[in-house]
Structure formats: C-alpha cells, structure tokens
Amino acid sequence: MIFFDKVSKIYSKTSIALEGVSLSIGAKEFVSLVGHSGAGKSTLLKLLLAEEAPSKGSVYFESVNVHSLPKRKLPMLRRKIGVVFQEFRLLSNKTVYENVAFAMEAAGRLSKEIEESVPLVLDLVDLADKISRFPDELSGGERQKVAIARAIINRPDLVVADEPTGNLDPISTREVINIFEKINKLGTTIIIATHNKEVVDSLGRRVVTMEKGKIIRDDKSGGYHA
C-alpha cells in the first residue's frame, strides 16, 4: 500500500534528514515509527503527504508516485490520508463540528452526508457533547480527539499521526491510542510516529526504529528499542 523506495531528504551537506530509506507498509497494518527527535520520523511522514519532496528516491501510495502528481491533484491524495499532528492544528475560529465538517466540505461531500456523519464520528471519539465548542475551550486531549475525528471523517485508507500524544497527559494518551486501535480494527492503516515507550509497548504491533535518517530495526510485533 505504501512504499518508500530508497528515499533521501537532504536539506544541506550537514543536515541530512533521511538517507536511502526503503520501507513497505501493507493495508490494515498498525505501524509505530520510533526514534529520537531528529531521527527522520516526521520527515518520512511529510514526504508521504507531499508536504515536502524527496531529494532522491520515490514514495508510492496505492501504487501512485506521490511526487509525480501535479499540484492540483494533491487534494485528492490528501483526502485518502487522514493526518493528526502533535500540536493538533485545528482551525481556531471554527467550532468542533465545523472543524470536522471542513474536511468533508473540502472533499465536496453533500451537505446531507456531512450533517449525518459528523455527529457519528464525534460520538466515536467521545465528544458528542462538545460539538459547538471552539478549540481553545477544549483540553489538549479533547483537541486531539477532534483532530482524529477530522482525520477519519472522509473514511481514509490511511491515518498518519505525528507524535499524536506528545502534548497529552497519560490518561488522554491512553484514550487517543484506544481510538487509533478502534479505527485500525475497522480496517484503516495507521502509522504513528512517537517516542512514547509505553504506547509502543502496549500496542504490541509492528515497530520501525529510526536513527539519524536510517531505519535500524523493523520488528513485526516488537517493543520500543530506540
């Protein structure tokens, strides 16, 4: 489903983010990408979303070379991939409902469909009672749940999360990870970049360990080894 083919990302001679990374991820997998800060986890995810372009190599998503897509086709790709960020990145002047609905509106869904789906998804992430709050009226954990709701509202094939629990307390972390597991059970591929050892160990799923821009371990059902 996803294939990184000898990908390098070189910002300058002294700043090499990725070096000849090859990685293949199949459908319905739940992959933890671990490693210290600066190991290249975020860069790998940014390349997948075409937020940045690789210096060498190619990135394939569902057999399409992501970086060969013209710019106007990027929205189609991004609607198939849900994204969750460490710092939530919600739209601050939109309510919880509108934040989630935005992803559907952007995808050109029918208003009727939006009105039906958004409450269902907000219910799934346990925020049905905060539907008309603004992001700054929510706790960190709640904001991240809104971000997850936004990421899954278009029923993407893949959800990518960059340090989704980095700003959360242990209880919220547990809740957020539970939601990811739930989504994965429903058939969505999940990639999480994290350096939270407990999270990785509790999942007991595939762990890819990175260091200095290279993949140093790939365990089918391992723990945290960075």
- The residue ranges that bind other proteins (CB under 8 A) are 49-52, 71-72, 74-76, 78-79, 83, 89-94, 102-103, 105-108, 110-111, 150-151, 154
The sign one gets for the Cα dihedral 95, 100, 104, 107 is positive
Least Cβ distance, residue 126 to other proteins (angstroms) = 21
- Nearer to other proteins by C-beta: 42 or 209? 42
Torsion of CA 211, 216, 221, 223, to 10 degrees: -40
Instruction: Give DSSP secondary structure letters for 148-175.
Output: HHHHHTT--SEEEEESTTTT--HHHHHH
Least Cβ distance, residue 144 to other proteins (angstroms) = 14
**Whether the Cβ atoms of residue 79 and residue 156 lie closer than 8 Å to each other:** yes
Least Cβ distance, residue 110 to other proteins (angstroms) = 8
Q: Rg of the chain over CA atoms, in angstroms?
A: 17
- Nearer to other proteins by C-beta: 158 or 207? 158
Least Cβ distance, residue 197 to other proteins (angstroms) = 28
- Nearer to other proteins by C-beta: 183 or 215? 183
- Nearer to other proteins by C-beta: 10 or 49? 49
Joined together, the tokens standing for residue 139 give 């706790």
Amino acid letter at 90?
L
- How far, CA to CA in Å, does 123 sit from each of 8, 39, 79, 137, 179? 41, 36, 21, 18, 11
Least Cβ distance, residue 81 to other proteins (angstroms) = 8
- Nearer to other proteins by C-beta: 125 or 215? 125
Q: Where are the strands (E) in the chain, listed by range?
A: 2-12, 15-25, 30-34, 56-61, 64-65, 81-84, 158-162, 189-194, 206-211, 214-219
- Nearer to other proteins by C-beta: 75 or 170? 75
Amino acid letter at 187?
G
Least Cβ distance, residue 185 to other proteins (angstroms) = 23
